[in-house]
Amino acid sequence: MHQPKVTDTLRFADLIRPGDVVAWGQACGEPLSLTRQLMAQRHQIGGFGAFIGISLADSADPEHADCVRFRSFCGTGRNGRLAASGKLEILPQHYSQLASVLMRQVDVLMLQVARHPDGGYSLGACCDYVAALVPTARLVIAEVNRQAPVTDARIDALQIDVVVEADYAPAAMTAQPPSPANRRIAAHVASLIDDGATLQFGLGATPDCVAALLLDRKHLGLHGGVLSDAGMALMASGAIDNSRKPIDAGLSVAGTLLGTSQLLAFADGNAAIAMRRISHTHDNATIARLPAFTAINSALEVDLSGQANTESAGGRYLGTIGGAVDFSRGAQASEGGKAILALTATAQRRDGTLFSRIVPHLSGPATVGRGDIGIVVTEHGIADLRGQTLDERRRRLTAIADPAFQDDLIAADQ
């Protein structure tokens, strides 16, 4: 019978072949004792590839690109350093497609897991795409972290080739104070959310602000790619009870934990949280069954026809395709659903000058096409673009742009 090899230290040159692609859990689920050892031993291996998700730690650094070819679906978190230095290759995929693509590319998988009280192991903070890679990777290395949260996503010991013990606080985010603009945006977004809606929160400061304004709502649900502090706050208050969901009733569903150490403690052993694969969290047919599915995501810029760029600005890759289109289409298929893109009306250049994020023409890719756009929100108001002509879209989007740029937008449209 197969039993994983248990060891205190690893010699990665014995495990990873030159040219291999190594992947590991992202965000709060990154196996830091493994990734840091891997980077320290990179010269002994030779050239190899590393697929990284959202990075909260320092294990993937531009200096490591002397041996490692980094690729990712995003420029989020610490990945921004790699992108800014030209050391990050972007895999431009809808998140719903990511696991199926990686199953054909990844040779070695590294996981942070927790011992489950019932025996075996929990995938802890990450299920998303890594669960699909367990049976297809040539080699699975698991860091068993005593401080990792136990969740319902499981992995059998027979699926693990090498086990390394660890005991450290997992990577986590630091809560960022919201700006006045974030608060005004959140008030507009909250006005669109009714009792019984199923919520999906994206990343950024706005979701936490929105959550603070929904504590009086009843029977909300949660289904998305990440469980953040915003979702935790609403679960703790009782506003999210998932009681009206026809599937996953009573369960808050996510693929990844992405938040503070308080979130990780909240998720540990919490039977109301279900960690699921991408094939469930981002599946259009699944989302369509959820009542009033309300997707709350962000964008870097939106043009006057309703196209949204969620990926790059100023020539730098900052964001991701992610689940923006998956959730937008899912919301449109859900009865009473809403796809909301929230962004500040302006941003600041390095020289301190402001520029409008409602623009005549995008400066980067049209991640969300105008056929998938729903509702756009800035601190200046709400532009519901559903069923609207191009002329009406221009009018509504100009109205929620910063007043200082509205005349320029009108002139550019003529």
pLDDT per position as a tens digit, 93-118: 999 999 999 999 999 999 999 999 88
pLDDT of the residue at 5 = 64
pLDDT of the residue at 315 = 83
390-399 and 403-412 helices cross at what angle (nearest 10)?
A: 160
pLDDT > 70 in the chain, percent = 98
pLDDT per position as a tens digit, 181-219: 999 999 999 999 999 999 999 987 888 899 999 999 999
How would residue 6 be classed by pLDDT, with cut points 50, 70 and 90?
low
Q: How far is it, in rounded angstroms, from Cα 26 to Cα 378?
A: 30
pLDDT per position as a tens digit, 79-92: 999 999 999 999 99
pLDDT per position as a tens digit, 214-266: 999 999 999 999 999 999 999 999 999 999 999 999 999 999 999 999 999 99
DSSP letter, residue 138: S
Q: Do residues 228 and 207 lie in contact, with contact meaning Cβ atoms separated by under 8 Å?
A: yes
Assess whether pLDDT exceeds 50 at residue 178: yes
DSSP letter, residue 108: E
Assess whether pLDDT exceeds 90 at residue 413: no
Which tokens sit at 396?
Answer: 């509504």
Which tokens sit at 25?
Answer: 């859990």
Strand partners, 355: 347
Assess whether pLDDT exceeds 80 at residue 4: no
pLDDT of the residue at 1 = 38
DSSP class per residue in 111-122: EEEEE-TTSSEE
More confident residue, 412 or 112: 112
Residue 214, SS3 per DSSP:
coil
pLDDT per position as a tens digit, 318-329: 899 999 999 999
Q: Do residues 319 and 300 lie in contact, with contact meaning Cβ atoms separated by under 8 Å?
A: yes
pLDDT of the residue at 208 = 86
pLDDT of the residue at 7 = 64
pLDDT of the residue at 8 = 65
Assess whether pLDDT exceeds 60 at residue 154: yes
Domains of the chain: 5-166 (3.40.1080.10), 180-412 (3.40.1080.20)
- What mean pLDDT is reported for the chain? 95
Q: For the purposes of burial, counting CB atoms within 10 Å of the CB of 254, is it exposed (0-12), middle (13-18) or buried (19 or more)?
A: buried
In degrees rounded to 5, what are phi and psi of residue 241?
-130, -5
Element (H, E) at 357: none
Q: How far is it, in rounded angstroms, from Cα 54 to Cα 73?
A: 8
pLDDT of the residue at 316 = 87
Task: Read off the pLDDT of each residue in 167-175 and give the average, rounded to a whole number.
Answer: 93
Which tokens sit at 157?
Answer: 């010991």
Q: Where are the alpha helices (DSSP H) in 142-297?
A: 180-190, 205-212, 229-237, 261-267, 278-281, 284-288
pLDDT of the residue at 40 = 95
What Rg do the C-alpha atoms of the chain give, in angstroms?
21
pLDDT of the residue at 351 = 86
How would residue 350 be classed by pLDDT, with cut points 50, 70 and 90?
confident
CA distances from 369 to 312, 362, 374, 381 (A): 15, 11, 10, 21
pLDDT per position as a tens digit, 44-91: 998 999 999 999 998 899 999 999 999 999 998 899 999 999 999 999
